[in-house]
Amino acid sequence: MEHAPLLTMRNITKTFPGVLANDDVSFDVHAGEVHTLLGENGAGKSTLMKILFGLYQPDSGEIRLRGEVASITSPTSAIEQRVGMVHQHFMLVPTLTVAENVALGLPSNRGFRTDLDAVSERIVEISEQYGLSVDPSIEIWKLSVGERQRVEIIKALYRDAELLVLDEPTAVLTPQEVDDLFVILRQMTANGTGIIFISHKLHEVLELSDRITVLRNGKVTGDTTPSETNRQQLAEMMVGREVKLAPDKPHVDLGLARLQLRDVSVKGDRGTIAVDGVSLDVHAGEIVGIAGVSGNGQRELAETIAGLRPAESGSSVTIDDADLTKAGPARTRAAGLAYVPEERMKDGAVGEFEVSENLLLINHGDPKFRRGPLFDFAKIREHCQRLVDQFSVKTPSLDTPTSSLSGGNIQKLIMARELDSRPSVILAAQPTRGVDIGAAEYIHSELIEQRNVGVAILMISEDLDEVLGLADRIAVMFEGRIVTVIDREAATREALGLAMAGG
């Protein structure tokens, strides 16, 4: 008789008011395999995993663990039944040590007193077995993102997890760290652990998975293996229509340098140098991509260019020869900058504002929207309706609160507002982070359109696929410096990955 799968989720249905989050989803994982769950935001992956981890109860359907019907009512009961989860946003207490984080929630051998020496011993054993080297006595805040992830995995292994869910584990890692992670995961499957891998990075999914299940709108739309499929097919299963993964880019002759950065140094929030002597030109008709793991000065650099953060003396920022080194955001925008910030809900739009108000955020002072001392609301509506139509922002109305739109539509709204200002330079930070494939495709084509008509575009992105797909030149940032600038034709994923890690 064949072994029962480690996990079987059968005919799972879960509804929330107005939303069918999981519609008759069946999914299983065998011991020793990596089974990937692939799907866009809102496809139902997280709901399914929250059901598995006891945070939600399904409306119908059953969960079996090792062939037996299981009732998982809370994260604690999931852990007791040897289900582990590495959340996308790490569940670690930064001020506690590695050993304390691992021991948290577990009874101590010494009763009321902690027994961290014993915990540390076990951690060292586990680290040696899986090559997860980490010092148990160090506080979490002193660790790199990759090391923190190892602590999360150790936490699950310490609790004897047989089934491990990894929610977008590679989103925050350098390519080298991703390779290291995959080695660790393969070692775990070799020892019989079953792994559920959640990701939307298609090449990683194809590299790591034994099986792939694709979800769309709460339903299973594909069940396949890497040898039977490819990136194009997977993307289409996710989106439900044909998609262009690599946008077409016609040749454009380079114009003059429109954005010029000279020896730009900037202090970060903690008062230490975050950007260290960056010099870069972006010419009319080109997209320069800044690749790098976030936290290496990209955000500070973007804020300085946008006039939101002062540069150190000796720095120089110019757009079309206008010196903007000491300019605030108003003068910088007047000089021709459009800015699509990294945190769209914090810096890009006001969540409580209506769609039309956000569309008007940068030019509500324009005389054409005025009648005497008052707003001319008819003109404003006309203007906003045109932008919404032109950029296909899906919104019930112009009066809808912006925060109720999807991430992709909010990003399209911001793009509409920024591009309508007819900029000479576009600064786009993480333009498609957390945005569905359809909206990303659209945003990419808009950026290329702007490039083709002679706008200079500086795009900051952590997503190497995005950088490789869009950029004409690629600059890699590491610890505040630009460590290399490569032409797209000469760039390889490996070389970029190495540069991103400072190598």
| Both tokens assigned to 113 | 């007193």
The region of 87-95, 229-237, 318-326, 406-414 touching another protein under the rule CB under 8 A is 87-95
Q: Please list, in sequence order, all residues whose beta carbon lies within 8 angstroms of the beta carbon of residue 373, skipping any fewer than 6 positions away.
A: none
Spell 293-310 as b/e; 16+ CB within 10 A means b.
Answer: bbbbbbbbbbbbbbbebe
Answer yes or no whether residue 38 interacts with another protein by CB under 8 A. no
Shortest distance, CB of residue 73 to another protein, whole angstroms? 12
Distance CA 228, CA 398 (A): 45
Spell 366-389 as b/e; 16+ CB within 10 A means b.
Answer: eeebeeeeeeeeeebeebbeebbe
Quick check: 9 and 25 in contact, CB under 8 A?
yes
Answer for which of 6, 51, 79, 212 binds another protein (CB under 8 A) is 79
Shortest distance, CB of residue 171 to another protein, whole angstroms? 18
- Residue 317 bridge partners (DSSP): 261
Q: Please list, in sequence order, all residues whose beta carbon lies within 8 angstroms of the beta carbon of residue 22, skipping any fewer than 6 positions away.
A: 12, 13, 14, 44, 47, 48, 51, 58, 218
Answer for which of 75, 146, 222, 434 binds another protein (CB under 8 A) is 75
Comparing CB distances to another protein, the nearer of 82 and 249 is 82
Distance CA 184, CA 53 (A): 22
Answer yes or no whether residue 76 interacts with another protein by CB under 8 A. yes
Answer yes or no whether residue 492 interacts with another protein by CB under 8 A. no
Comparing CB distances to another protein, the nearer of 19 and 93 is 93
Write out the binding residues for another protein, residues 155-174 only, by CB under 8 A. Answer: 155
DSSP state letters, 174-196: -HHHHHHHHHHHHHHHHTT-EEE
Comparing CB distances to another protein, the nearer of 158 and 478 is 158
Answer yes or no whether residue 138 interacts with another protein by CB under 8 A. no
Other beta carbons within 10 angstroms of residue 247's beta carbon come to 13
Answer for which of 4, 20, 31, 55 binds another protein (CB under 8 A) is 55
Distance CA 146, CA 71 (A): 33
Comparing CB distances to another protein, the nearer of 75 and 351 is 75
Distance CA 103, CA 117 (A): 11
Distance CA 248, CA 245 (A): 10
Comparing CB distances to another protein, the nearer of 54 and 218 is 54
Closest CA to 165 of 73, 36, 71: 36
Answer yes or no whether residue 57 interacts with another protein by CB under 8 A. no
Answer for which of 64, 66, 82, 87 binds another protein (CB under 8 A) is 87
- Residues in contact with another protein, total (CB under 8 A)? 26
Shortest distance, CB of residue 295 to another protein, whole angstroms? 18
Comparing CB distances to another protein, the nearer of 113 and 241 is 113
Answer yes or no whether residue 245 interacts with another protein by CB under 8 A. no
Shortest distance, CB of residue 104 to another protein, whole angstroms? 5
Shortest distance, CB of residue 75 to another protein, whole angstroms? 5
> Helix H segments across 131-159?
145-158
Q: Please give the sequence-ordered ranges of beta strands (E in DSSP) within 299-351, or none if there are none.
A: 316-319, 322-323, 337-340
The region of 68-76, 219-227, 329-337, 447-455 touching another protein under the rule CB under 8 A is 68-76
Answer yes or no whether residue 74 interacts with another protein by CB under 8 A. yes
Quick check: 78 and 49 in contact, CB under 8 A?
no
Shortest distance, CB of residue 80 to another protein, whole angstroms? 9
Write out the binding residues for another protein, residues 95-114 only, by CB under 8 A. Answer: 95-96, 100-101, 103-108, 112-114
Shortest distance, CB of residue 476 to another protein, whole angstroms? 32
Answer yes or no whether residue 67 interacts with another protein by CB under 8 A. no
Comparing CB distances to another protein, the nearer of 136 and 469 is 136
Query: Which whole-number Å values give the CA distances from 117 to 94, 160, 172, in the listed order?
Result: 20, 19, 31
The region of 85-93, 142-150, 233-241, 450-458 touching another protein under the rule CB under 8 A is 85-93
Shortest distance, CB of residue 76 to another protein, whole angstroms? 4
Shortest distance, CB of residue 361 to another protein, whole angstroms? 29
Shortest distance, CB of residue 306 to another protein, whole angstroms? 26
Answer yes or no whether residue 279 interacts with another protein by CB under 8 A. no
Answer for which of 11, 57, 62, 93 binds another protein (CB under 8 A) is 93
Distance CA 121, CA 425 (A): 56
Comparing CB distances to another protein, the nearer of 87 and 219 is 87
| Both tokens assigned to 367 | 């005389």
Shortest distance, CB of residue 495 to another protein, whole angstroms? 37
Shortest distance, CB of residue 105 to another protein, whole angstroms? 3
Shortest distance, CB of residue 436 to another protein, whole angstroms? 23
Closest CA to 7 of 62, 87, 57: 62
Distance CA 19, CA 403 (A): 17
Quick check: 306 and 328 in contact, CB under 8 A?
no
Binding region for another protein (CB under 8 A): 55, 74-76, 79, 85, 87, 90-96, 100-101, 103-108, 112-114, 155
